[in-house]
Amino acid sequence: MFKKIFYLHVVIVFFSLIWNLSAQEFTFLAQRTQGIGDAIVRVEVINPAATTADSYRVRFVKSGENLLYSVENLTQQTTIFNNLPLGSSTPIFNGIQVTVQAMEPQFKEFIEVQYAGHPVEPPVPIFRPGDAQGKGGANSTGEYTFVGGGGSGDLNQITRNGNDNSSAAPFDYELRFDGNPEGRNKFVYAFTGSGIIDVPFSLWNIGIATPDDPTDDHQIIAIGFDDSGNTQKYDGGARPSDGGPGTMYDRIYFYEIDQNALPEGDINNDGVVNYDDFLQDLANTGGTNLSQPSVFLNRAYVGHEILARFSMVNLNGNPDYLPPVGTTIRITTTKPLSENDVYEFTTSKFGLYTFPISLSFGDVKINQQITRILTLINHNNFNITISDITADHPDFQVSENRFIIPPGDSVSVQVTFSPTNSQAITAHLTIRSNDPFFPEYRVKLEAEGLPPTTGPIDIRAHVDLPGSGTTDVWGFVDENTGKEYALLGAFDGVAIVDVSNPSNPELSAKLRLGTIFDVKAWRHYAYAVNGGTSGNGFVIDVNDPRNPQVVGTFPSGHNLFITDSGYMIKEIPGVQVWDLNPDPTNPQMVWQGGVEGHDASVIGNRLYDFHGTAGTFIYDFTNPKNPVLLGEITDPAISYHHSGWTSRDGRYLFICDELAQNPSPDITVWDIQDPANPVRVGQFADSTATVHNLYIIGDFAFISYYTAGFRVLDVSDPTHPKLLDEFDTTPEITGEGFAGAWGVYPFTPSGNIYVSDIKHGLYVFNFKGTPTSVGTNGQSIPERFALLNNFPNPFNPETVIVYQIPKRTNVQIRIFNILGQSVRSLLNKIQAPGKYFVTWDGKNDSGQIMPSGIYFYQLKAGKFKATRRMLLLR
């Protein structure tokens, strides 16, 4: 019989708490565990200093109608307590106490999980036992959704007969991540009438009598659905109404076929109806109809659902996570009805441990550096005092090495690798503390130093960010100090990073807002959306970047783009234009078009709407409240029009295809000189990676290319883009897919470039080329000061004043009457270079409505001054 480790809320916890720490001879023991059909077993650690690494067994026997239990030490081969009644607790022994109680009617499972083959590193944030209990119902844990209880909210309901939560099936199961080498692992869509795909996992019934005999194992049918209505893939997409970051709502139902299905379902005529019969029926019919869950393909495949409806790890969504091929998760259920029913567990010497258990830095060039986050976790019931943290190789440095970790708490430190030689390095970090069990805890470090960079990409800094993974990145300049900041979305909110010292970025603030897919800045506000079709987007005042405040909301969407003139383009549903000028905290929608939408860009007076599977649509954006369609691109070779940008002269449009499959190109180039008749003239392809976002400055395209990292293309000849340089932000992950570099922001005044990596946070690069200057939202920086015509003119009740400045300076906008008297000061502040719009509502500084007449508006910017006339008609 294999070792068994027991966990409360088992499916949530096995993705969140457990990994292989055999190098430290350390196994984590949950302090509270669920028991079996008729009993609950709880193991509490009373005195961590007295615990051992022994294994124990709780054995059940029946005495008449009563259930009794005994406790055995398997390591010492002794019986500690014998024939104790339910409802009792053992005396404290070896630092622990065992309590066995009668099972509550709604909990009828005996659950255990064991890993085999590979360690499983969970996604962050790390859950402690208390974190995983009592959060959310069937659809959401409040952090990650992994399990639903079929509407019951009982996250630990693992086996059942249909909707009967009181029945536990006496079988063992193995969830095997085998990569599907033979193509036999099928996922069938429920309720859609069609749809069969291969999946890299399978569930097997292995029985409780023969858990180590594979000859009688049989595979379980996996059916499910996608709540987004996409019947062609199991994409793990977020359902925003679940309210948690990275929530995944696509569900798998595992069905066991009842033997009373004979003989109609026995396709092989071998006397047994099983998964092979089901596969053969799929092959013969080419489709499914599971509108009645108990009847498969109109045959007598009558079954019952086992395992709570299971939201698997993402296959195409984010965070992109799947255990390594070879991982097996053992799930055992039973009922204590005889002396053969046992509950086994292993205690440990509680103490300090880390997440992750090792650090990999990948390839780093000499004179560059990479930083990783190491979290130290204290599972003692006393303070751990860290007295020193040192690396046995001088190229590794630690941000802090002396601090105290309270019981049950954690502290994160930064570990930086700065290579001085070209060599592969394997080193160790030694953590010294007062932990009586691991006074010297070692963490493995792996990295490789490469020769100094010769290309134009030069990494300035890198910093991991706390939380559950990073999404898109943008930037802004603090109008009060002139400091540059990076603005990052994440699966748990928005992060603001001070990049005024690009060699040492510092986290200024983190707002916990749930999943944020995209974030953009305008003036001293940030606008963030969750990537979905429901829920709220957020308006964040970043006037004080260390103390950002949510000051407004608007309907969320998938992506945003904001023009310098204060119009926000929001995608999904369709493409929408929102005016920020009247009140930046309360955006107002002024136009909507299309039905699908994904991303958009405004360059010059054109709006480019990248509309997913529908195509790319080009609009005249001269009047943001009434865009005019000029042309569209619907090439069937493009699977998904994701995003794009134009060449410096606006003649060529580069379109990124996020779902391109080899040999289709990732990026196509279109001559849009005549937008009504676009012509494809070039392309760029990489069969080993997936493209995401692209921006162009001058002759260079700056691209976040998922697993390939940050790339720069030479597009001086747009018809023949060429790879100029690249930096792999996630060297440990390769191949096509949605991991690695998510976003890129090349529009900083300093010329630094920000790249966001889903797993590793923020990278800051310097580019040694000569890109053309642009504003912080990608618009060209003006070459001169100018005060432009207001509109409308004449006006009533308000008008918009337009001006531009080519450099950072103090700007004043004032209104004068015909006598030369100042009636209103509209603006007096320092601004970055760019084009700006300010509205006058026809009132004076006291809020009084001004009468009809001629007025003058004046711009003073540094030594520049200009005045124009306007007419107010009441």
Q: Are 483 and 475 in contact (CB under 8 A)?
A: no
Type of residue numbered 10: V
Shared domain check, 338 and 387: no
Judging by DSSP bridges, how do beta strands 440-450 and 358-365 pair with one another?
parallel
- Same domain for 386 and 297: no
CATH number at residue 799: 2.60.40.4070
Gap between the Cα atoms of 211 and 340, Å rounded: 13
List average pLDDT for each run of 10 residues in the chain, which is 874 residues long: 22 20 25 39 67 76 75 89 88 84 45 37 30 28 29 31 40 72 74 62 67 70 57 41 37 60 65 72 56 45 54 40 62 44 61 80 82 84 91 94 89 91 93 84 90 81 82 91 92 93 90 93 94 89 96 94 93 90 95 86 93 93 94 92 93 95 91 96 92 93 95 94 91 82 91 92 83 55 84 86 87 93 92 80 93 94 92 90
**232 and 270 share a domain?**
yes
The phi-psi region of residue 153 (left if phi > 0; otherwise alpha if psi is between -120 and 50; otherwise beta) is left
With a CB cutoff of 8 Å and minimum separation 6, the contacts of 94 are 50, 51, 52, 54, 347
Q: 331 with 173: CB under 8 angstroms?
A: yes
- In degrees and rounded to multiples of 5, residue 242 shows phi and psi of -65, -25
* pLDDT at res. 257: 65
Q: Report the pLDDT value the prediction gives residue 265, as an integer from 0 to 100.
A: 65
Q: Which of 396, 418, 450 is the last residue of a domain?
A: 450
Does any domain span residue 472? yes
For CA atoms 171, 176, 182, 187, the dihedral sign is: positive
CA distance 363 to 92: 51
Report residue 327 as tokens: 């991982």
Residue 507 C-beta-side C-alpha neighbours within 13 Å = 15
Segment holding 430, helix H or strand E: strand 424-433
Is cis: bond before 125, omega within 30 of 0? yes
pLDDT of amino acid 804: 87
Whether residues 370 and 461 share a domain: the answer is no
Rounded-to-integer distance, Cα 576 and Cα 554, Å: 12
Residue 109 to residues 155, 250, 301: CA-CA distances in angstroms? 11, 24, 26
Among 222, 221, 220, 225, smallest CA distance to 194 is for 225
SS3 content of the chain, % helix, strand, coil (to 5): 5, 45, 50
Residues 6+ positions from 402 with CB-CB distance below 8 Å: 386, 387, 388
Q: 860 and 712 in one domain?
A: no
Q: What is the count of structural domains for the chain?
A: 4
Structural domain contains residue 780: no
Q: Which of 556, 561, 514 is nearest to 539 (CA)?
A: 556
Q: What pLDDT was estimated at residue 306?
A: 58
Residues 628 and 763 in one domain: yes
Element (H, E) at 342: strand 342-346
Q: Which residues contact 751 (CB under 8 A, 6 or more apart)?
A: 766, 767, 771
Tokens standing for residue 606: 């054109």
Q: What is the CATH number of the domain that holds 378?
A: 2.60.40.10
Query: Which two tokens mark 231?
Result: 């019947």
Check whether residue 266 and residue 414 sit in a common domain: no
Nearest residue to 511 (alpha-carbon basis) of 544, 457, 549: 549
Domain residues for the domain of 638 are: 457-767
**CA terminus-to-terminus distance, the chain:** 90
Name the β-bridge partners of 803.
787, 836
The last residue of one of the domains, among 767, 801, 816, is 767
470: domain CATH number is: 2.130.10.10
In this structure, are 795 and 716 located in the same domain? no
The C-alpha atoms of residue 86 and residue 321 are separated, in whole angstroms, by: 41
Cis omega (within 30 of 0) for bond into 545? no
Q: Residue 839 pairs with which residues in a beta bridge?
A: 800
Q: Among residues 399, 418, 450, which one ends one of the domains? A: 450
Cα-Cα-Cα-Cα dihedral sign, residues 145, 147, 149, 155: negative
Same-domain status, 137 and 33:
yes
DSSP state of 285: H
Q: Is residue 5 part of a domain?
A: no
SS3 call for 312: coil
| Cross-strand pairs, 869 | 856
Q: Read off the pLDDT of residues 234-244 as tens digits, 9 standing for 90 and up.
A: 444 444 333 33
Q: Rounded to whole angstroms, how far apart are CA atoms 235 and 531?
A: 14
- The DSSP call for residue 49 is G
Residue 28 and residue 154 in one domain: yes
Other CB atoms closer than 10 Å to residue 398's CB: what's the count?
Answer: 16
Three-class SS state of 179: coil
* Contact of 309 with 251, CB cutoff 8 Å: yes
d(CA 772, CA 113): 57
Output DSSP code: residue 666.
S
Torsion of CA 524, 529, 530, 534, to 10 degrees: 140
- Phi and psi at residue 279, in whole multiples of 5°? -60, -45
Query: Kind and range of the H or E element at 645?
Result: strand 641-646
Number of Cβ within 10 Å of residue 869's Cβ equals 12
778 in a domain, yes or no? no
Note whether residue 1 is domain-resident.
no
- What is the edge-to-edge ordering of all strands in the sheet holding 88-89? 39-45, 96-102, 88-89
Cα torsion at 284, 290, 296, 299 (round to 10°)?
Answer: -80
In whole angstroms, give the CA distance from residue 291 to residue 245: 31
Examine the domain organization and report whether 512 and 642 are in the same domain: yes
Q: Helix (H, G, I), strand (E, B), or coil: what is residue 24? A: helix
What is the rounded distance in angstroms from the CA atom of residue 245 to the CA atom of residue 242? 9
How are beta strands 186-189 and 221-225 bridged, if at all?
parallel
Contact 572, 561 (CB under 8 A): no
Q: Are residues 327 and 376 in the same domain?
A: no
How far is Cα 17 from Cα 34, in angstroms, rounded to an integer? 17
